[in-house]
Amino acid sequence: MRLVGLTGGIATGKSTVSHFLAAHQVPIVDADLIARDIVRPGEVAFHAICDAFGPAVLDADGSINRQRLGALVFGNADQRRKLNSITHPYIRIEMLKSVLRHFMAGARLCVLDTPLLFEAGLHRWVHAVVVVYCPDGLQKERLVQRDGLSPLQAQLRIDSQMPIERKKAMAHFVIDNSSSLTRTRTQVDDLIDQLMPSRWLAGAIWGLLLLPASSLYLLLVVFQRIDRWRRLGFFGRGLRPAGIASNAGIRNPGLSIVNPDLQMHSLAPAAGPNGF
């Protein structure tokens, strides 16, 4: 299976390209969706965020208010590092599990969709990098229109990521999403033709690596179960109600695979109707 990293800047159109890829039955591992799942009430990362940021980031229903938390961290590097040290280990493990599931299912091509591919160092673990690009002026204009932000707020969110021009220079393939959706779709179709490996090669690799991949997946599942028991007190203390901060020592649930200097996975509102 060929693993492809898909990235871009906020509001450059990465979600649009991801949808076009999915229309070709290419499996997508979406880091933003995983980031939302791992902070649901009752999850380990949810309790750690309550511990670190307090009840001010919670909605009345006990879930995390993403806009409020985003406002705290986008303009504050220390707060952003604190949030990343909580969430990134869990995001990475879930991403790896998803990739392994697609490999075991026989997929020939899998796309790792993450806005922080370079910042997180994940570009080192994929076969090719695709950057969805539009000029930074258009990027800012789209973000203001999509999220109802002021120009200053939009710029702060853009500045929290690596500049799009730098990402473009580091890419193996670039999708220019600065014009029509028809042109973007045509570029995606051409990209799939270039990236899709042959069936015989994908089959040979699948046969060779199926057993180790299955073993690794099982180990990850067991590790997660033990980690959850340890952090949430299943060995005698019981799971705390949602929204109650832990005193069980989960302030730094980091793993060796995480870089605490990484930026935050998407806490911005979901993409608008144009997918930007």
Please tell me the predicted confidence (pLDDT) of residue 231.
Answer: 82
Please tell me the predicted confidence (pLDDT) of residue 27.
Answer: 98
The owner of tokens 């076969």 is: 127
Contacts of 215 (CB under 8 A, 6+ apart): none
Q: What are phi and psi for residue 210, nearest 5 degrees? A: -60, -45
Q: Does residue 204 surpass a pLDDT of 60?
A: yes
Rounded mean pLDDT, 224-245: 63
Give the HSE-up count for residue 58: Cα atoms under 13 Å, Cβ half-sphere: 20
In the chain, the percentage of residues whose pLDDT exceeds 90 is: 71
Cβ pair 103, 29 in contact under 8 A: no
Question: In CATH, what is the architecture of 2-232?
Answer: 3-Layer(aba) Sandwich (3.40)
DSSP assignment of 202-246, as one string?
HHHHHHHHHHHHHHHHHHHHHHHHHHHHHHHTTTTT-PPPTTPPP
Residue 255 and residue 237: Cα distance in Å, rounded?
Answer: 23
From the list 253, 259, 266, 262, the residue with the least C-alpha distance to 52 is 253
Residue 245 and residue 189: Cα distance in Å, rounded?
Answer: 48
Q: How confident is residue 276, by pLDDT bands cut at 50, 70 and 90?
A: very low
Give the HSE-up count for residue 236: Cα atoms under 13 Å, Cβ half-sphere: 1
Residue 47 and residue 239: Cα distance in Å, rounded?
Answer: 10
Give the HSE-up count for residue 166: Cα atoms under 13 Å, Cβ half-sphere: 9
From the list 39, 17, 163, the residue with the least C-alpha distance to 91 is 39
Cβ pair 102, 145 in contact under 8 A: no
Both tokens assigned to 154 = 């939009």
Please tell me the predicted confidence (pLDDT) of residue 70.
Answer: 84
Instruction: Quick: pLDDT tens for 101-146.
Output: 999 999 999 999 998 899 889 999 999 999 999 999 999 999 999 9
Q: Does residue 274 surpass a pLDDT of 80?
A: no
Both tokens assigned to 248 = 């069980």
| Cα 37 off chain centre by | 11
pTM for the structure as a whole = 0.81
Q: Mean pLDDT in the chain? A: 85
Instruction: Quick: pLDDT tens for 40-64.
Output: 998 999 999 999 999 999 999 999 9
Please tell me the predicted confidence (pLDDT) of residue 129.
Answer: 98
Q: Does residue 250 surpass a pLDDT of 80?
A: no
